[in-house]
Structures are given as C-alpha cells and as structure tokens.
Structure 1
Amino acid sequence: MVKVHKVVTMVQIRKESQGGARDVCVEVKSSHIPHTFTDQGIVKKGGMSAVSEEGTTDSYSEEEKTAFADWINSNMANDEDCKPYLDIDVNTDELWTKIQDGILLCKMINLSCPGTIDERAINTGKLDQYKTTENLNLALNSASAIGCNIENIGAVDLQGGKPSLVLRLLWQIIRIGLFARIDVQHSPGLVQLLKDGEDMEDLPKLTPEETLQRWVSFHLVNVQIYEFREKHILEKSLMHAEGYLYLIKQIAPSDSGVDLGPLKEKDPEQRAELMLQNADKLGCRAFVTPKDVVQGNSKLNTAFVANLFNTWPALDLPEEMPDIEGLKETREEKTFRNWVNSLGVSPRVNHLYSDMMDGLILLQIYDKVRPGVVDWGRVNWKFEDPGGNMKKMENCEYAVELGKDMKFSLVGVGGKDIFDGNETSTRAVVWELMRAFTLAPLQSLQGSEGPIKDEEIVDWVIITLQEAGKETSISSFQDPEISSSRVVLDLIDAIKPGSIDYTSVRDGTNPDERLSNAKYAISMARKIGARVYALPEDLVEVKPKMVLTVFACLMGRGLKKVQ
C-alpha cells in the first residue's frame, strides 16, 4: 500500500561557490512523497525536490518510529507543556510534525538529563519561523552538550521532518536517559556482577550494554535455567521470549501476578506477546513489540532491558556498602566525555580513561579537530595477537607525537601514560584537543595564520560589550565578575540584541541567584547558536578552562554575525 502526502518543506543543501561551501535553505514546492513499506519494517520516503533533478530517498525503521512515539506519549504525559503534542498517532507522520517547533525536543532532553535546558530560554506560545528555529537550535546544541552526535542534523532538517535524522536524534536522547542510572553510583547492588579478579574500579569501565548483559546473565544463572553466553544475552538467547520470561519472573515482586505460563505457548510471536503482558504488570511494556523480540531488533531490545533494569534491578545491597566516592565522574570528566561523544567517535566513550588506552579514540578526535592530520597507515586497529599491548602503546605514542606537532602543552606526557590510563595525562591531552577544536573556527573566521590567543578573546569581549553600551566587562577568564554570569548574559544580548529577558536576570549576590543566572546564560548561548559544552557551575565557580570555551564559542557566533 502506498500513502501519498502533500508537503511543503525546507531543505538544506550544500552549495559550492568561490567563497567556499555554504548552507542554503530552499523551499520544496508541494512535492508528493510516496511511502513504501518493505518486508523488514523499513520505510523508504522518497521523491523529487525542486532543487534537484535526482530522486532522493530517506529510509527509516517503522518499528523505531512506533517505539519512540510510544515512549514520548508515556513519559511526557505529566508535563503540561507537552500535552498539546500528545498523543502522537504512530500510524501517521505525527512524530515528525510534533517535534518541529523544538519544544518537545527540549523537554525530552531535560527528561534524559534534568536541568540541561533552562526552560526560561524556550520559546512558547504562538511561534513564528524565527522563534521555532531558535528552539531547535537550543535543542540541538543542548543535545550535543549531553553527548549526542548531531553531525548533518540542522534545524531545517527537523523542520522538514526528515525521518532518519529525527529518529537518529531521538534515539540518542532516549538512550542517554535510559543509561544514565546504570552505574554503581545509582545502583550499588551492581557490585554483585563483578567477576573473579575484578574490583570496584572495574565497574565504571563497563559500557552500559556490558553491564546489562551481566545483569541479565546474573538473574538467569541465579534461577539455574541454563548457562547463557553473555554476548548472546541481548540477541538469540532472548529472541524466543523464554529468557525474558525467566528474567521478568526473577525480578518481579511476589505479588505482581507474573507467571511462567507463557512458556507453554508454541508460537514465538504469541509467546512474546504473553511475555510483554507480564512486563506490563511491572509497568515495563515499552520499546518492543512481539515481532521486535522474535526478530531480535538489537536497539529496541536493549532499550527494553534497560527499562527493566531501571525499574526493577532486583540487586540486593552488599552487607558492607562499598566506598564509591572515588568512582564518581567529576564535572570536568563528564564535560570531556560528552564533548568527545558529540564528535561521533566509535565506539562511544563511557569511561574517559580506560576507553582512551588503545589510542584509537584519541586519534579519531585528532582527525575531527584537524582533518587529515592523522596518517591512518601508522595506526594499529587490531590487538588480539601477543603483541597487542605494544600496538596500543604505539597508537598512544603517536597521539602524543601529534599533539606536540600541534604545539599542545603536554610537558611530561608520554604515550605510556595514556596506555596506563593515567588520569592527569589523559585529561591534559583531551583538554588540549577540546581547546584546539573550540578555537579553530575563530582562527578561520579571523583569517589568522596562528592560533587565537586568550588575550584576543578577552579583548573582543571587552570591545563588544562597550560597543553595545553594556556596563559589565572582564579582565581575564579568572575575573570574579564572571561568577554572576551577568557579563555572559550581556554579551549574548550584545551579539543578538533583545534576546535576553532581563526580568529573568538576578543580581547574583548569593549562590542561588548566581546559579540561576548561569543556567539561563548557558541555555541562551546555545539558543543563539553557540555550541557550549560548559556547565552552569563552571561559570559560578569561574573555572578558567570552561570559561574560555564559553567566551570562545560566543566570539565565534559574534564573528559569524558580522560576516
């Protein structure tokens, strides 16, 4: 069956000119876009646009569309601002249209990472094109700040309802929220999953998926069903719903009504449906349909298991509570990790230090910071043979060598430090990469041959504030005046006059007022197009490194405006 929809949308294309590549928004005139459903549940949305004589096709998963829409309907139902957007009809294209003004996306980000977006920055009410774009920029830059890779996703793509990009963004936001509490800080009972020879410090090094695999294996082995091989826990071993039935029975309260009767059902899909009815008794029927279970949709089944864990972990606390203080991720580590993940490295970074020890992630970051700088012929990719550690060491040494070639400040840092997971050395390299990444656009915008100096950014801030008639100013990135964030808010208003609602700005004379201003400032910076990774606390505490990134990003936004 083919459904035909008449749409008018905006398409972003890359146009080459003598001045270089630039993004151009072009209206697509009343295109008729057919939807064709394949046997695998993949929808191909194709058609001809007014900007190209070539046909375009955008494929997406109908199962993911249904799962994410259901998740939004269920999890956003208590938010008054979201109610006008619910319930999303999974049998239509409502998912693409309901996120087009950015409000629902902003709310989803705050659900996954509470407090990421200051809601004073969200445009509400009747929105024109301008205010809609602001909301989408706020959502995208905030998504990047929590570790989403938004490469090739722009406001125009979301306004145009491009399915594959919408689903890619939604999955990242949902995934981050699902995995946020799968760690020993939030679930001390995870210590039960340690293997012989492991200690508490090994837990943070596990990816969320690995932790879930161990959790499922722990419960299945506990009920002595049969030995599951961990690498199949979320794959074939659960595809016939038997493993899920035992798992749900094991974690369910005794009065929940969960039973193992569905094991007698011969038909795989019907057995999966009965299993999901059991999950529903625990309030955990989400993400998967019986067909998704039987076919083994990895993404959706992982989300289903994560939801089970978050709701009913069923892990007894150890008799002696372990000391987890030293295992907590610092704000700086979190910011670095989110920045690295936003670049689209593979695999995702879960633990800043152990995940860098083979050098591959660092080398990917170098290539993002300065494309072409890495000679991939020198890079070792496989480490299974007896010389694997030596090959990892060579990668780490190459990463440090590249840093020194790029004039990074890496005194006393060697490849072995990275290989050994030395925290100070690893942070030093990552910070230098983040700094170079942040300053590179300024160098390009100013046409400078050398790196931009801190003093140049400070001077620009001072001049911009003066020209806008603002009374605030700074002398350096350590200036105590930054703690109130009023200078940041004034700078944002100088870049985009009228953007700051000064009735929302506090004097900053006490900690609560300073934090309130900082939250508003960070969100407003992202709203006007500055991709800021710093946290509000960084401004309040005047952390020079993160303060530098905030002003550098705003300077980049200001220079683009001038051009």
Structure 2
Amino acid sequence: MSVRQTLAITDDQLCELMETFSSIDKDGSGTIDVSELQQALELCGLKIPNYQVRDLIAKYDSKVKDGQIDIEEFKQMYADLKEERDIGITFKKQVQTRKDVETMGGSSQASVEGTTHTVRKEEQKAFADWINRALADDPDCAKYLPLSSSGEDLYKNTQDGILLCKLINKSVPDTIDERAINKTNLSIYRRAENHNLALMSAQSIGCNIVNIGDDDLEKCKPHLVLGLLWQVIRIGLLSDINLANHPGLINLLEDGETPEDLKKLSPEQILIRWVNYHLRNAGVDRRIRNFQEDIKDSEAYCYLLEQIAPRENGVMSGPPLSEHNLEQRAELMLQEADKIGCRSFVSPKDVTSGNYKLNMAFVANLFNQYPALEPPEDMEMDVVEETREEKTYRNWMNSLGVQPYVHYLYSDLQDGLVYFKLYDIIRPGVVNWKKVIQKFNKLKINFEKLENCNYVVALGKECKFSLVGISGADINEGNPTLTLGLVWQLMRAYTLSILRQLAGGDSLINDAAIIEWANAKLKEGGKKSSFSGFNDSTLSDGRTIIDLIDCIRRGMINYDLVKDGASEEEKMSNAKYAISMARKAGAKVYALPEDIVDVKQKMIMTIFACLMARDMRSQQNGETS
C-alpha cells in the first residue's frame, strides 16, 4: 500500500515532496545523505533537531543500509513524522482546519472514495488571475472573463471546455485546431466533445490525465480541474526555457561545463541558476537553492527585479528591503513587479510561506518576460533544437506519469528507471524489480546505471523488440539514434497493448490488422477513401483519416471545413483538423499534423491504431457511431 493510500496524502503533496527531494539531490544520485536530510525536511515544513537526523536515517534507510535516503524512504519518513507531530493527527483532519485549504466532497465523497479532496485557495486565486491575463484578448472568452478575484467561479466557467482548450493553445500554440471546438449550442453531448478534445490535447503535450475523465470536468470537480490547469500552465511557463529559445542561457554555465550540461538541467534548476546569475551581477552575496525557504524574505526577488527590469520602469530594491515586516516587504516587492506587468501567481503570503508551486511560476513568468540574458559575442554555439520526434516521445512518457519527469530525452533516460516504468505499464509484471537499482551508490553510480541499462536491453529482447546493435552502454551514453529506436518500439508496444486488451487478451494485432480494419470501416461507412499502408502517399492530404473519424463518430466532421488537399497549405489545414477531430472523438493521438503531411509512417500507424482503439471502446460501451 502506498504512502498516499495509507495517509491520504494528496498528489500535490507528493509532487512537492519529489520536487523538494530533487532540488536537494544535486548530483542526481537518487539519494540524499545526513547533511542534506535536515534541509529537505525543513523545506517540507518539518524542523528536526540535529541529534534526531542520524536516528532517522538509521530507521528509514531500509534497503541498502548505506547512510543514504532515497525518495521512497523520504516519503515514508515525511508521512510518519507528519502524523507523529500531529500536524492534524491525520491529513483529513488537518485540511478541515486549515484556513487556506477547502475540503471538497464532504463525508459522502470521503466514504465512497476513501479520501477527502482538498483545494488550495491560493492556487485557485492564482490560476484564475493567470487565465484572466492570458485570455483577456480572446473574444471567445469574453463571456467567461474576468473570473472573480477569489477564483470561486473558475470551475463553473471551465465546465463547457472552451476555456480549457483556449488555455492549452496559450501554453502550446496550435495544439488544438480552433475549428474543432464546439462554441455554440453547448448541450451536455457537445460539452463532452470539448472535454475529450481538451483532455486528449492536454495528454499530447505531456499532461498526465490518468485520473481525469470528461465526466469529472462536467461535474466541475475542483481538485481535478485545478490539477489539470496547473499541468497546462506549468508546461506553458517552462517549455521555452532552453538554449534554442534563449541562447543567452549559455551565461549560466559553470566552470568546465558545456552547453550539453545545460540540457541535462530541469527548467526549475535553470531558473535557480538564472536568479543567482542576476544576484551575482547585482553585487550581492545572497544566493538561492530553492523556491521555498530561500525566497521567503523577498530579498532575492527585490534584487532580481531591479536587475531585469528596463531602467525606464523605475523598479527599485531599496524601498521593499527597508521594510522589516516580511509580509509587508513581499507586498512592496510585488508592487515593484507590477511596474513591469509581472505581478502574477503569488500573494505576499505565498512568498512568506514559501509556496513552491506558485513561487516557481512567478519566477518562470519573470524569466519569460524579462530574461535579461545576452549571449557572449565571442562564443560560437551550435544549438540543436528538440526534434518533433523527440518532443512527441517525451510528451508520451510524461503523459503516462513516469517519474522522474522527462525534460531531455537522452540524459533523463540514462539511468534506465523511466524505461522500467514504461515496460511495467506496457506489460505488467515483466520487470523483475529486484534486479533494478533504484537507489544509486555515489561511488558506483556510473556502473550501477550501466547495469540498469543492460537490463533495459534484455527486457526489450524479451518483449521481441528489434535491438540489433543496441547495447546497454548506448542507452547509458544517450546515443540519439539508438535511444530513439528503443523508445519508438516502446511507444508502438504501448499502443498495440491497448488494442490487445480491448480485443481480448491473446488476439494478434499488427499493422496488417489495423490497415484491414480501417479499410473495412471506410467501406462500411460508404467512403471512397482507402490506403495500402502507413506509407501510402495518398494519406498526406489528411482526407482518409478525416473520413475514418466520420465513420467512427457519424456527423462529427464538418466537411465544409475540409479542403481538396491540392496544395501543401490545404494538406496542412486538413491535417490539423484531422488531429484535433481524432482527439475530440476520444482518440489518444500523440502525432502532429506535420507527421500526416510528411507521411511519417511510424506516427501515422499510431493515429490509425488509436482510432481503432477508440472504435473498439465505443462498441464495447454500446455507443452508436
């Protein structure tokens, strides 16, 4: 039984625990030692005397007994300490008495699901304010905005799915074709279509929606709506924090590092370096290591704002820093941020309480608006941008909820752990976890990661993958070609595993079966379209896929919007419409419109497979096409 199940700890709490752990575990070993544990617990709100820290390590270092604590041991330690110290006796009782947390669902929901869901008011307010700012100029959103300053009307106004779709496009432009959004006659059925479109599109950009369905959005379940909103907002805030978009990040390299080392850092780690870079330029000794304890006094923020703001805006650090009351100082600091239009996400209380999530968002927004980074003139740099294929695979992994979160495909897979989690999702039970090293010894870390990668390759062979010429060392070194080859086979296996489950276990589902099903479905629907394979050049105009969607969900396609496909522009228009309409139909499509136009065989295969899965699910549920 998990920590969350035994103590009713929320996903948000687990997320913050993991983020705190990662921020302390700077060498990426997956463990923290006695010198780091005290700081980690303090960041989580638990102050432990020095004499107790070694006792805690002795008690919870249950696996290797090496004086190190891994993330699972850290979570259990936190849960036990939290309960012992009566920070609410149990979490349910705690959240009912906290002023900044609302309990949702009451006794009936708790009795049915075994948990009480909570909503943090400060997040509700922050997200509502961000939506007001982000979508203020969109005429389709005028009837919903502005949301109230408390955010109480956030859930009602996201019920029809339009605001969610709009916010997804704000975070990752052109994810959703506007033509696919139902904007009028919003019956419960048409709202459900918008919910599908929003959820499947959110999944395609890397959101984990495993526990969220269209019915949850229709019922305006606050904890689920807020969770989805945060994922979408977070992706939008962090997606451009990379060398391709900001070559000036090269200034953040430390002695002996290369641009490749910067790619291995998470966006949060880059933001911390960015803040410290400007603190150094300000000529002050202050530095930060996190967005919790180290920012509570607003000092770092005051100096940062003065450094990055255009001079004509008159932003100054002096007035706020002369105020000794920390909450009042935070208010004065935010007034300075407002001079450059960046008073977003945090209230004074959020700063002084060290709310990780909202402070990270505040800093990310500052970076996006005013990076104040000029690339060195004397440095030549060949920045390789993330490819479509890499981004698709990364988003697919993250949407499945793998931990750690994958930021950079090659470095983040080098220890093998994400691969094992993917194997376990695709073929439950195939991974012998006793063979997996999840907690690395700092003296043997390279050898242990290689050992994991050797097992990754062995499992691939067990799953009948084509791995000729691929060794564990290739995976461990992040060889791009061979890594992509393995990841594609995992994604393909995942897609086919869903079809096999729907078809009934032992059924053989391969490319030929998918092609046969699609052509039969098109013929049954009275369509003239057909194709010979996933590399058929006639697929490039998108019309065959559009026709297939119309056969699965009769009347969903508006053929007035479908072009002949005579030009590249018309093909792209159809491809964008096809992808969004497939998602609107409930298909878990990760492919991009460009994959259709370019007839990328692998990605096109996944589109047809996902549509086949959607059709099978509809028939099993007794839905009419």
Q: Structures share a fold, TM > 0.5? A: yes
1:447 Cα deviation from its structure 2 partner: 2.3
Alignment coverage as a number of residue pairs: 526
CA deviation map 1:444-469 (0-9, x unaligned): 22225254111111111111101111
Amino acid corresponding to residue 363 of structure 1 in structure 2:
F
State which of 408, 426, 429 in structure 1 corresponds to 2:465: 408
Equivalent of 1:139 in 179, 198, 208: 198
Output aligned runs, 1:94-173, within 5 Å. Answer: 94-173=153-232
Partners of 2:585 and 2:512 lie apart in 1 by 24
The alignment's TM-score, normalised by the length of structure 1, stands at 0.91
The answer on whether the counterparts of 2:413 and 2:475 sit within 8 Å (CA) in structure 1 is yes
Aligned to 2:357: 299
Matched, 1:274 2:332: yes
Q: Provide the residue aligned with 1:389 in structure 2.
A: 446
Between the aligned partners of 2:428 and 2:224, the Cα distance in structure 1 is: 24
Structure 2 match to 1:283:
341
Partner of 1:205: 264
* Identical counterparts, % of pairs: 54
The structural deviation recorded for 1:424 is: 1.3
Which amino acid counterpart does residue 150 of structure 2 have in structure 1? N
Which segment drifts farther, 212-221 or 86-95? 86-95
Are the counterparts in 2 of residues 49 and 55 from structure 1 also a CA contact under 8 Å? no
The answer to whether the aligner puts 1:519 opposite 2:597 as a matched pair is no
- Pick from 242, 262, 271 the counterpart of residue 320 of structure 2: 262
Residues in 1 aligned to 2:112 and 2:240: alpha-carbon distance in whole angstroms: 48
- Please give the alpha-carbon distance, in whole angstroms, between the structure 2 residues aligned to 1:36 and 1:331: 43
CA deviation digits over 1:276-324, x for unaligned, max 9? 0000001100000000000100000000000000111111232146434
Q: In structure 1, how many angstroms separate the alpha carbons of the residues matched to 2:307 and 2:429?
A: 52
2:488 paired with 1:431: yes
Q: Tell me the secondary structure at the aligned position of residue 139 of structure 2.
A: coil
- Name the structure 2 match of 1:443: 500
Cα shift readout 1:189-231 (whole Å, capped 9, x = no counterpart): 1110011111122222221001101100101011121152x52
Q: 1:404/1:275 Cα in 2 relative to 1: closer, same or farther (>3 Å)? A: same
Q: Tell me the distance in 2 between the aligned counterparts of 1:463 and 1:54.
A: 43
One-letter code aligned to 1:267: N
Deviations 1:326-384 (A, max 9, x none): x2101000000000110101121010001000011111111122222222222112224
More displaced, 135-144 or 390-399? Answer: 390-399
Q: Distance between the aligned counterparts of 1:50 and 1:207, measured in 2?
A: 37
Q: CA deviation at 1:557?
A: 1.1
Which amino acid is the alignment partner of residue 122 of structure 1? I
TM-score, normalised with respect to structure 2 = 0.82
Mapped partners of 1:495, 1:52: distance in 2 = 39
Q: Is the 8 A contact 2:124 2:150 kept in 1?
A: no
Once residues 394 and 199 of structure 1 are traced to their aligned partners in structure 2, the CA distance between those partners, rounded to angstroms, is 26
2:278 pairs with 1:219: yes
User: What is the Cα-based RMSD across aligned positions, in Å?
Assistant: 1.7
Write the deviation string for residues 95-138 of structure 1: whole angstroms up to 9, x where unpaired: 11111110000000000000000011000112111000000000
Mapped pair 1:231 → 2:289:
yes
Which is strand-richer, 1 or 2?
1
- Read off the aligned partner of 1:353 and give its amino acid letter: Y
Deviations 1:426-459 (A, max 9, x none): 1111111100111112112222525411111111
Q: Give unmatched runs, 5+ long, in structure 1.
A: 1-34
Contact 1:534 1:550 in 2 (8 A): yes
The one-letter code sitting in structure 1 at the alignment partner of 2:566 is: T
Question: Is the 1:48–1:55 contact (alpha carbons within 8 Å) kept by the matching residues of 2?
Answer: no
Instruction: Give the 3-state SS of the residue equivalent to 1:255 in structure 2.
Output: helix
Please identify runs of 4+ aligned residues in structure 1 that moved more than 4 A.
Answer: 48-56
- Please give the alpha-carbon distance, in whole angstroms, between the structure 2 residues aligned to 1:480 and 1:267: 68
SS at match of 1:413: coil
Indicate which of 311, 334, 337 corresponds to 2:369.
311
Indicate how the Cα distance of structure 1 residues 275 and 132 shifts in structure 2: closer, same or farther if over 3 A, else same: same
Higher helix proportion: 2
| Equivalent AA in structure 2 for residue 501 of structure 1 | N
- TM-superposed CA distance for 1:53, in Å, is 6.4
User: Gapped runs of 5+ residues in structure 2?
Assistant: 1-93, 621-625
